[in-house]
């Protein structure tokens, strides 16, 4: 019998990559759940219908469900009808800046929507792996308390305990998360709890900057994709604080999909993993300007805003040692250079 995958947020970057990977590479029957809420959160520039249409064209047998994860009865009914072999929960309100303006929508989507999906899974397919796309914002701004040095183009950790980056054991308490970070933390903990309390095969993936060529980057979410778009269009990019030296690790959506497949093949209950590009795929905004310019031949236009975003990290990259210990066959296959090159070509194709 053919295995079935249900992906929420299927028209988004990670959701669409997971759909294609499981459908093409693993032979799953793929069902996507997405009601284009990103366009509501971010306006026309956040519209993902183009990606939904792409899935319909490129993935034979793909079935789309125009459903909101806040619809408790609807999500339960869909899970009952499909009884999927695995659920990948990628739907979310993804911006910590936007959350402050829409706190109810943010919490209802990120926290309550996740519980809706967990309950649907618990009652209709409790043995199916449940993978939740969480965020590194669950750590709040606590990483800023780590000793670090200001280098020429970036901030960098100097505490030897964080040579490899931020581990899963890092504190989530006594820090400023943003409302987005708090709602995602609530979801993250519930995913862990359903795994531990109900012994369901669940995991939360605390992503850094998840990106790739199909990212609809906007100013409030998707920094590398949006930066490249600004470069190509000659549009002004705004740097918010930290002298443009704030550091993020970037991971290609393909490598995210590959890890999800690894977890589905060997699930564990109530796990949590930091999933990012690691130190090797980290970049500051200033360094990303230079990389984009080398690929496009265009100068980056930018302005500097002195005040940093609330709860923003000065430096963050994921310690990948736990994830690689549990799944040694998985690793990063797409370099920062190659990922950025693909983003450039994608935006050029959409102009």
**Mean pLDDT confidence for 226-249:** 96
pLDDT band at 311 (very low <50, low <70, confident <90, very high): confident
Number of helices (H), then strands (E), in the chain = 13, 14
Q: What is the spatial distance between Cα 41 and Cα 101, in angstroms, rounded to a whole number?
A: 10
- Identify the bridge partners of residue 95 per DSSP, sorted by sequence position: none
What are 120-162's pLDDT values in tens digits? 999 999 999 999 999 999 999 999 999 999 999 999 999 999 9
What are 161-217's pLDDT values in tens digits? 999 999 999 999 999 999 999 999 999 999 999 999 999 999 999 998 999 998 877
Give CA separation, 169 vs 25, 138, 203, 273, in Å.
Answer: 33, 12, 15, 10
Least confident range from 222-226, 234-238, 260-264, 319-323: namely 222-226
pTM of the model: 0.95
3-state secondary structure of 17: helix
CB contact at 8 A, 59 and 23:
yes
Q: Tokens in use for 176?
A: 């400023």
Q: What is the spatial distance between Cα 323 and Cα 271, in angstroms, rounded to a whole number?
A: 10
Residues in the chain: 351
Q: What is the spatial distance between Cα 311 and Cα 100, in angstroms, rounded to a whole number?
A: 12
Domain 4-350, CATH number (from 3.10.580.10, 3.40.50.1400, 3.60.10.10, 3.40.50.720): 3.40.50.720
Please name which of 103, 84, 75, 250 lies closest in space to residue 177, comparing C-alpha atoms.
103
Torsion of CA 176, 240, 285, 320, to 10 degrees: 10
CB contact at 8 A, 344 and 338:
no
Predicted pLDDT of residue 6 = 98
- Residue corresponding to tokens 């993935």: 59
Q: Tokens in use for 287?
A: 């360094």
Query: Where do runs of H (alpha helix) occur along 200-332?
Result: 223-233, 253-265, 285-296, 321-326
CB atoms near residue 120 (< 10 Å): 25
Predicted pLDDT of residue 45 = 75
Phi, psi (5° rounding) for residue 181? -60, -35
Q: What is the spatial distance between Cα 161 and Cα 18, in angstroms, rounded to a whole number?
A: 33
Instruction: Give the up-direction half-sphere exposure of residue 180: CA atoms within 13 A in the CB hemisphere.
Output: 23
């Amino acid at each position: 019998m053919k295995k079935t995958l249900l992906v929420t947020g299927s028209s988004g970057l990670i959701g669409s990559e997971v759909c294609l990977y499981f459908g093409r590479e693993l032979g799953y029957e793929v069902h996507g759940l997405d009601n284009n809420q990103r366009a509501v959160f971010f306006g026309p520039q956040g519209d993902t219908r183009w990606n939904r249409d792409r899935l319909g064209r490129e993935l034979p047998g793909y079935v789309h469900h125009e459903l909101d994860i806040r619809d408790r009865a609807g999500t339960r009914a869909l899970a009952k009808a499909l009884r999927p072999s695995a659920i990948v929960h990628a739907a979310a309100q993804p911006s910590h800046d936007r959350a402050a303006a829409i706190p109810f929508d943010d919490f209802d989507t990120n926290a309550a929507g996740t519980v809706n999906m967990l309950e649907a899974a618990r009652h209709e397919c409790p043995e199916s792996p449940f993978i939740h796309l969480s965020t590194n914002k669950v750590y709040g701004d606590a990483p800023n308390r780590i000793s670090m040095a200001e280098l020429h183009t970036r901030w960098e950790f100097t505490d030897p305990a964080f040579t490899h980056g931020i581990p899963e054991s890092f504190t989530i308490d006594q820090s400023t998360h943003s409302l987005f970070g708090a709602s995602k933390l609530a979801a993250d903990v519930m995913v862990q709890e359903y795994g531990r309390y109900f012994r369901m095969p669940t995991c939360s993936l605390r992503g850094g900057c998840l990106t790739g060529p199909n990212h609809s980057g906007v100013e409030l979410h998707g920094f590398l994709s949006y930066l490249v778009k600004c470069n190509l269009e000659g549009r002004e990019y705004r740097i918010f604080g930290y002298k443009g030296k704030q550091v993020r690790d970037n991971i290609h959506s393909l490598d995210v999909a590959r890890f999800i497949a690894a977890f589905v093949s060997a699930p564990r209950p109530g796990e949590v993993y930091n999933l990012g590009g690691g130190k090797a795929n980290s970049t500051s905004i200033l360094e990303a300007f230079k990389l984009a310019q080398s690929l496009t031949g265009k100068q980056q236009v930018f302005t500097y805003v002195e005040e940093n975003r609330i709860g923003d990290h000065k430096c963050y990259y994921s310690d990948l040692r736990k994830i690689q210990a549990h799944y040694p066959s998985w690793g990063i296959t797409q370099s920062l250079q190659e990922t950025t090159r693909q983003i450039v070509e994608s935006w050029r194709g959409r102009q």
